[in-house]
Amino acid sequence: MEHFFSVEDLTTEELYELFEQAKLYQFNPPKIKQQIFAANLFFEPSTRTKTSFTIAEKKLGLEVLDFEAATSSLTKGESLYDTAKTMESIGANLLVVRHEDDNWMEEVKDLSIPIINAGAGKNEHPTQSLLDVFTIYEEFGDIEGLNVVFAGDIVHSRVAHSNIKLLSRLGANVFVTGAPQFIDTSIPCPYLPIDEAVEKCDVLMLLRIQHERHFKKFDESTYLEKFGLTVTREKQMKHHAIILHPAPVNRGVEIDSSLVECERSRIFKQMEYGVFIRMAMIIKKLLHWGIIHDNNIEKCKHHFGKQRIQNV
């Protein structure tokens, strides 16, 4: 059985099917008519991803188990594998996991319940990539031929690693920019200086400096002027170009604070879309594993124009 560990676990056809489901769920959310327990095992801090999964699960009618790494038996030395195996034994039907290890998935891949990767070290963050690519798809209607620039601490960014794999497969022209020590030389994407990058891009994905993965303190005092999106640089972007950021944003470091909510920013739109993408992925996995069947899913019948249904 397949978990969702990497963007490579989805075919392109499955990806676009998922996008269609996510679009539908914005206005027509389904509800699962069966008791299903989900455990969100976040061994690293998170605001967006954890909350987004929790809302997606609750909208679908799942019961979300309480788990906080700081108050769990992790503090008594329990391993990731034993924590996950415990959840499975107790009755969780779905696990969502974030851990600092690049390859934690190897440890738990043989469990008998579906697992969704919510962040693996600097390796992969596949649901973030799905919501990023969905945001681009909603904006432009196609990915092929778009110039997408990743700007920032690429070598330490799981978001960049997942996105570069997926966007390259979908035919985007992917470029990187940033401080030389942050460029991942194993990624075969051309480098552009930031002033060229802002003029060329259709999509500019900014990334924060991942201090938690650095061995030496990085001095960020001149970073915005040298490598970030300043107000002057934003003015050089094409009329239709958009700004993305997986967040958390470090205002005034990789992006001028006044640009975080500027007209071309889709940063909060990305977060909004993340809930529907995650709903679609959860349903896909529960169906695939035979945990639910189509006849357990109640489709919302009420559709008030295009108004999103918030309280379902």
- 3-class SS of residue 115: strand
Query: Which helix or strand (DSSP H or E) is residue 297 part of?
Result: strand 297-299
Contact status: 12 vs ligand CP (CB under 6 A): no
Contact 204, 244 (CB under 8 A): yes
Nearer to ligand CP, 229 or 292 (CB): 229
DSSP at 265: B
Beta-carbon count within 10 A of 190 CB = 10
> Torsion-angle region of residue 77: left (phi > 0), alpha (psi -120 to 50) or beta?
left
* Sole window of 57-65, 74-82, 101-109, 240-248 interacting with ligand CP (rule: CB under 6 A): 240-248
Cα separation of 246 and 226, whole Å? Answer: 21
Nearer to ligand CP, 136 or 247 (CB): 247
- Contact set for ligand CP, span 135-194 (CB under 6 A): none
Query: Which helix or strand (DSSP H or E) is residue 40 part of?
Result: strand 37-42
Nearer to ligand CP, 39 or 247 (CB): 247
Residues in the chain: 312
Task: Find the shortest distance in angstroms from Cβ 113 to ligand CP.
Answer: 22
Closest C-alpha to 127, from 287, 279, 291 = 279
Nearer to ligand CP, 51 or 72 (CB): 51
Contact status: 237 vs ligand CP (CB under 6 A): no
Spatial neighbors of 194 by CB under 8 A, at least 6 apart, are 151, 177, 178, 226, 227, 228, 233
Closest C-alpha to 133, from 160, 151, 156 = 160
Task: Find the shortest distance in angstroms from Cβ 246 to ligand CP.
Answer: 4
Beta strand extents in 105-237 (DSSP E only): 115-120, 147-151, 173-177, 203-206
- Contact set for ligand CP, span 101-130 (CB under 6 A): 119, 128
Contact status: 247 vs ligand CP (CB under 6 A): yes
- Contact set for ligand CP, span 23-82 (CB under 6 A): 46-49
Nearer to ligand CP, 49 or 93 (CB): 49
Task: Find the shortest distance in angstroms from Cβ 89 to ligand CP.
Answer: 27
Indicate which single residue of 94, 201, 246, 255 sits in contact with ligand CP (rule: CB under 6 A). 246
Nearer to ligand CP, 32 or 120 (CB): 120
Nearer to ligand CP, 46 or 296 (CB): 46
Task: Find the shortest distance in angstroms from Cβ 188 to ligand CP.
Answer: 25
Task: Find the shortest distance in angstroms from Cβ 47 to ligand CP.
Answer: 4
Lateral strand order in the sheet of 203-206: 173-177, 147-151, 203-206, 242-244
- Footprint on this chain of ligand CP (rule: CB under 6 A): 46-49, 119, 128, 246-248
